[in-house]
A and B are shown apart, each in its own frame.
Chain A
């Protein structure tokens, strides 16, 4: 109570003083009334002010009171120079907001521990090996039988859980209901228990729910999905959901906040691993393995044990490999298993964006530092103008610490106002950036809480920023020498430190511009990189059937789509180019052993090359009646790799499938190269087979999945999306379109990261130049004002305008130059850390270095122009009279 009243008294300090004064006054009047001499009574009191201060200090908290007084004073100082203060606050707010957003993203993706019990004990298993394409790779996928052996082998040291890669799949609730998309993940039965996760409703899986392949059609919903899809209806327990033509019974809902272990993906439906079609397959790596290491277990022996088990499994499995070149196989078997800490979960998004986010964080931190340097200069200029005031305060007895506090309070106002604005910015910016990572059909969903972690970061950042730009001016102000300051002496070290700040800003600005330039150029080159086909005006309709349908029925549906007005051509393929799917194998020509280069394969109907506008260079397209396996179309790289560049039309090759089958194909056509897996990198050898297949007895096989490629005549293919979506089931009721999109979107999904980096880096590059230019202008302007008298004298004795301009700017331009050179050195040094993010851009490219240099020079010239004009227009007569 007492502390509270003292805090309250701080806030009503004036009233407190009045009360004390009134009481003392009433005492005096009483004394005089009692017949005491007024003079004597007053004298007995001693100095009234001291008495009041003494009493005040008992009744409030003195340091808080002085802080309050300084806060009011600091606010008035800010208000004196509204424009400069507003500019300082805005630039700091942008910097603080951007840094806080970067932290939110990095925290959410890379740092924040999973909401599970003991996240620090979690490790992810992965293997380093030379992949079949001859490049070093990291695989974190495991086959279930391998996992099973490892789990049993180390069960005393660690609990292993299997968690599949998540996929976005079609689900239906109840018969006749619409198909909808949901993220599905297969997880070990004991996952929930091992991670200490309790159900919110119903129950979660137990060990006994994951024993027999195909025997546990059960589903657990995530809390988030339960909330958004079912409005937290507890009656959902016991209902069924249809996924992949099987019914799963919903048995419960997971705990709040748990959305799987993949930051960037929120799982909707969990299913036991035993329900996965590859549960017993040794050649199907469809799941990650997490280990919860028991307390006190050493990691290296555990790793070695897992490595031995998994290595033996792979060697055993490789005995059945056929078609692999020997050296490739040996390299592959030299794989080494390792354990990576997985407290923050594990996802592809982490790997894709780790470096990018850190690079962006460094960029925004540099922008914040540039803004800080501006504010430091502003504070220094103001402190210099207030040197006399400070000297006076010291002369009449103000303590140094009190003066530091006085000046720091002003910085605190700037920093905290900026932080408040910055918080609003970060509130909006972090989800905005996540929204930009939205490859079609698979938008990133990242949990971005604004909790104590973010608040603590923001607070620390704000205090750090405040000390960065406020402490030096405050210490300097308090260290003023009263005698010389009151005499009006100039402080030259202040100008020097301002110049140093200009240099630092130029260096950081160069670095930001350099890195932005690299990112923008990367995006530019990547988006202009030829793919070999034309994605414009092409719609892709991923289509499934309730039950597998004969190829002729698929042709009927394609014909129906061709009749829709606005449709130019329609092709049919097993998957879309650049869609993420990949089917590859080694090729053998004339019975010779495979040469170790993988070929990428795809099944496509007649008309597919036309719909994709892939040029036919020789031979013919597929015809109706062509079936797999008999004929093939190959691309130029295929001809180069397997036929030494000779025309392959009419020649034969075999695909060496690992199961021992070696189907033989006659090449009937040669087409141009197209990007298959990725926009980057060289074109891959590719072979296309007919969409229709026959089995060993020559019977046509029914097909349950395919993608219609529709080239439209209208500029915006999406206008036809709804018509086509309805046309497919209208043609045959067994058909459903599960996903519809444009080929352009699919192409662009490969440059999402580059686009994000380019846009954000460009934005912050502009901000950095702007801030640095404002800072330069401020210092020059200040210099001109300071040296007005000197300039006046020089002009009076005949100095030329050019001479004045040179004198005013020379030193500062030298600093800019030195700073830019330092920035160049920094840039060349740091470029190696972002090299993986660049494409066809070399950091040592002169153009990449010239652009930021040129930008800085132009910005510096523009910023210098107004102060220089002001300097040469100084009228010696007036200036000298004023002083």
Chain B
């Protein structure tokens, strides 16, 4: 099982979100994007990211293909499947529900 880190529970959501906006990213780019878009707050560990990607791929949410970049190196890029889009919507609304509930608790004086 992947080890726990700060992104436990939300890594899938972040990856799905990023791939829904920017299909065709490879693992390193996904990692960088998480860092950039979160304003350097969130960081995905390599040790968690790749097992997560492969797990989501196996679950059929994302699919991967090999491309050859202009540098001549091969890279494995990912994009969302239809099922992945559905999964993203579900995960997002669940996230919203959970965060607003947590916020409500925190706002209670």
Contacts and interface: CB of A to CB of B under 8 A. Distances in A.
B95 interface: no
B40 interface: no
Contact of B47 (A19, A31, A46, A59): A46
Contacts of B27: 23, 27
Which of A19, A22, A24, A51 has most chain B Cβ within 10 Å? Answer: A51
Q: Chain B: interface secondary structure? A: helix
A24 B73 contact: no
B54 A55 contact: yes
A29 B73 contact: yes
B62 to A, nearest CB: 12
A23 B60 CA distance: 19
Interface residues of A, number: 23
In this complex, the interface size class of chain B, counting residues with CB under 8 Å from chain A, is 20 to 34
Contacts of A58: 51, 54-55, 57-58
Given A44-B45, A45-B46, A55-B50, A31 B55 contact: no
B45 A54 contact: no
B13 interface: no
A54 B57 contact: no
Contacts of A29: 73
Interface of A: 1-2, 5-6, 19-20, 22-24, 26-27, 29-31, 34, 44-46, 51, 54-55, 58-59
Contact of A55 (B29, B45, B51, B60): B51
B86 interface: no
Given A2-B59, A2-B60, A27-B27, A59 B54 contact: yes
A534 B28 CA distance: 99
9 contacts: A2-B58, A20-B50, A22-B76, A23-B50, A24-B50, A30-B75, A46-B47, A54-B51, A58-B54
Contacts of A22: 74, 76
Nearest to A26: B75
Interface string B14-35: 0000000000001111001000
B39 interface: no
Contacts of A46: 46-47
Contacts of B50: 20, 23-24, 27, 51, 55
Nearest to B56: A58
Given A20-B54, A23-B27, 4 more contacts: A20-B50, A22-B74, A26-B76, A34-B28
A20 B51 CA distance: 10
B2 interface: yes
A45 B28 CA distance: 12
A59 B57 contact: yes
B69 to A, nearest CB: 9
B47 to A, nearest CB: 4
Which of A34, A44, A54 has most chain B Cβ within 10 Å? Answer: A54
Interface in B73-87: 73-76
Contact of B74 (A1, A26, A55): A26
Given A2-B60, A26-B74, A54 B46 contact: no
Contacts of B45: 44
Contacts of A55: 50-51, 54
A24 B51 CA distance: 11
A26 B26 contact: yes
A86 to B, nearest CB: 42
A27 B46 contact: yes
A5 B64 CA distance: 14
Contact of A54 (B2, B32, B60, B74): B2
Contacts of B46: 24, 27, 44-46, 51
Nearest to A46: B47
A55 B54 CA distance: 6
Contacts of A44: 45-47
Given A26-B26, A27-B26, A45 B58 contact: no
B51 A23 contact: no
Contact of A23 (B2, B47, B55, B76): B76
Contacts of A51: 46-47, 50-51
B19 to A, nearest CB: 16
A27 B46 CA distance: 9
A436 to B, nearest CB: 58
A1 B51 CA distance: 20
A51 B47 CA distance: 7
B57 A45 contact: no
A34 B75 CA distance: 15
A46 B47 CA distance: 7
